[in-house]
């Protein structure tokens, strides 16, 4: 099953999207974000797209199960489901465009070396310190030789021209965040998330990005990268995370937290939708359509959703 046809095509430009990774069944927090992404897009007359972000971990049949669960909640989407792994030529073209403008350099650092290196002034912890940005030709050749010994390619990094960038977010408001020399292509040859998401959103006409707020810090660097590529910067809506009773991000190890888990324990799909509605101050929701009719974006819930479930 790829996608049910959308019954009400968008009448205005732009689109929203939901982009899960096919690493397992979607848990309640994932489903909540999907419902909000769909609701925000449909409420504003946008199209709504689905993209499977399958560049890293892929669990067999996971994508199909995720699409079935989203459809069971009452979500529909426009067009074909996009597989990120099939977008390689577009990712390569974006990197080539940046290379031609001298905005890319090779990086020979290991992850541990980056973590252990002293950070640049005003940079957040873990930011790339610029180690390989201005190497001499001899140092670059030595770095390439080291990569050959490790049987890896050098990573490709953006030569950023700013330290920060500002974006607008429906939940967080005006957000100014750090921009460093972010990875464009990893040493294992896989395109980096920050590049792929920018290129793929723009190709689909996505101008409204709704996702969990653990990705808020990525928005400024992604918006900056979009600007460098001549692409429209989207608006953002980073929704509060679902967390367990210890305050940690909800995960499948926390128990029966997926739709299928809840169904196996005697709950209905409407019960699960109702639980998500309760978390947003909308009691009585039974399908995604109820959110579309009742949710008021001005009454935003800013706190994490603490998920407490019966066994």
Question: 27: helix, coil or strand?
Answer: strand
Count the Cβ atoms, other than its own, within 10 Å of residue 200: 20
Query: In whole angstroms, what is the distance from residue 257 CA to residue 244 CA?
Result: 10
Characterize the bridge pairing of strands 164-169 and 173-178.
antiparallel
The CATH number of the domain holding residue 56 is: 3.40.50.620
108 and 187 assigned to the same domain: yes
Q: Is 215 part of a structural domain of the chain?
A: no
153 and 98 assigned to the same domain: yes
Count the Cβ atoms, other than its own, within 10 Å of residue 233: 20
Active site residue 130: no
pLDDT beyond 90 at 298:
no
pLDDT tens string 171-203: 999 999 999 999 999 999 999 999 999 999 999
pLDDT beyond 90 at 160:
yes
The whole-number average pLDDT for the span 108-126 is 75
249 and 274 assigned to the same domain: yes
CA of residue 173 relative to chain centroid, distance: 19
The whole-number pLDDT of residue 121 equals 59
Q: Is 209 part of a structural domain of the chain?
A: no
96 and 56 assigned to the same domain: no
- When pLDDT is cut at 50, 70 and 90, the band that residue 297 belongs to is confident
Count the Cβ atoms, other than its own, within 10 Å of residue 228: 18
Compute the mean pLDDT over every residue in the chain, rounded to the nearest whole number. 91
93 and 191 assigned to the same domain: yes
269 and 301 assigned to the same domain: yes
Catalytically annotated residue among 252, 260, 286, 294? 252
Full domain range(s) for residue 66: 15-86+240-306
pTM score, two decimals? Answer: 0.90
DSSP label at 85? G
The whole-number average pLDDT for the span 300-307 is 91
Q: Is 278 part of a structural domain of the chain?
A: yes
Dihedral angle of Cα 286, 287, 289, 294, to the nearest 10 degrees:
30
CA of residue 273 relative to chain centroid, distance: 22
């Amino acid at each position: 099953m790829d996608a049910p046809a959308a019954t009400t095509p968008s009448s205005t430009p732009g689109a929203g999207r939901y982009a899960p990774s096919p690493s397992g069944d979607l848990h309640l927090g994932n489903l909540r974000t999907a419902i909000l992404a769909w609701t925000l897009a449909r409420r504003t007359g946008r199209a709504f797209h689905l993209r499977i972000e399958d560049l890293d971990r892929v669990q067999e049949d996971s994508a199909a199960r995720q699409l079935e669960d989203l459809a069971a909640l009452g979500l529909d989407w426009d067009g074909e489901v996009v597989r990120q792994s099939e977008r390689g030529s577009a990712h390569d073209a974006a990197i080539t465009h940046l290379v031609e403008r001298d905005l890319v350099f090779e990086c020979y650092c290991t992850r541990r070396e980056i973590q252990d290196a002293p950070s640049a002034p005003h940079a957040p912890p873990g930011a790339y310190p610029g180690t390989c940005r201005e190497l001499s030709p001899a140092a670059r050749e030595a770095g390439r030789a080291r990569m050959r010994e490790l049987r890896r390619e050098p990573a490709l990094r953006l030569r950023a021209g700013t330290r920060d960038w500002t974006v607008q977010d429906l939940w967080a408001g005006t957000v100014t965040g750090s921009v460093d020399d972010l990875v464009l292509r990893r040493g294992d040859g896989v395109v980096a998330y920050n590049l792929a998401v920018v290129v793929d959103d723009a190709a689909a006409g996505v101008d409204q990005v709704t996702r969990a707020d653990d990705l808020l810090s990525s928005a400024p660097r992604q918006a900056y990268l979009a600007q460098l590529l001549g692409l429209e910067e989207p608006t953002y809506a980073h929704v509060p995370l679902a967390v367990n009773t210890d305050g940690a991000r909800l995960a499948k190890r926390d128990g029966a937290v997926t739709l299928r888990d809840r169904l196996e324990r005697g709950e209905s799909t409407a019960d699960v939708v109702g639980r998500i509605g309760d978390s947003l101050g909308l009691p009585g929701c039974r399908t995604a359509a109820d959110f579309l009719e009742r949710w008021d974006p001005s009454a935003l819930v800013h706190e994490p959703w603490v998920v407490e479930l019966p066994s």
